[in-house]
Amino acid sequence: MDTVEAVEAVGTAIEVAGVAVIVVGMVAATAVFFHRLVRRVPFAEVYRPYRQGLGRAILLGLEFLVAGDIIRTVAIEPTFGSVGVLAGIVLIRTFLSFSLEAELENRWPWQRRRTAAEPPSARERG
């Protein structure tokens, strides 16, 4: 096995790990969700943690997928075309990560975190 094949295999393995992280995270979050529903926990108390668990799994999986793309594209064939395609993929995945992070944290990244004692502002409530 030469270097190109080894790098290709490592990039593919990292991408497979990213997909596995998403699938395992989804299954685990769904199992916890249904377990809490069976225990008669109110749906409103179960739904938000479920979405957060799914979002975290997707975010972590996206990080693996981006790493795999970078390894496979830059290390194997760094042409302008392949780097351009990689830039587009990274841009789309970064936007997805940014959107998911904002959804999970319920705030924009440039906003400071609220403490537990601090009530939400009028804009956040309505």
Q: Tens digits of per-residue pLDDT, 32-52?
A: 999 999 999 898 889 889 988
Is the dihedral angle over the CA atoms 68, 70, 75, 76 positive or is it negative?
positive
What are 62-99's pLDDT values in tens digits? Answer: 889 888 888 887 777 677 887 788 888 878 877 887 78
Identity of residue 86: L
* Burial of residue 11, with CB atoms counted within 10 A of its CB: 0-12 exposed, 13-18 middle, 19 or more buried: buried
How far is the CA of 97 from the CAs of 39, 69, 70, 84, 91, in angstroms?
A: 32, 16, 16, 20, 10
This prediction has a pTM of 0.72
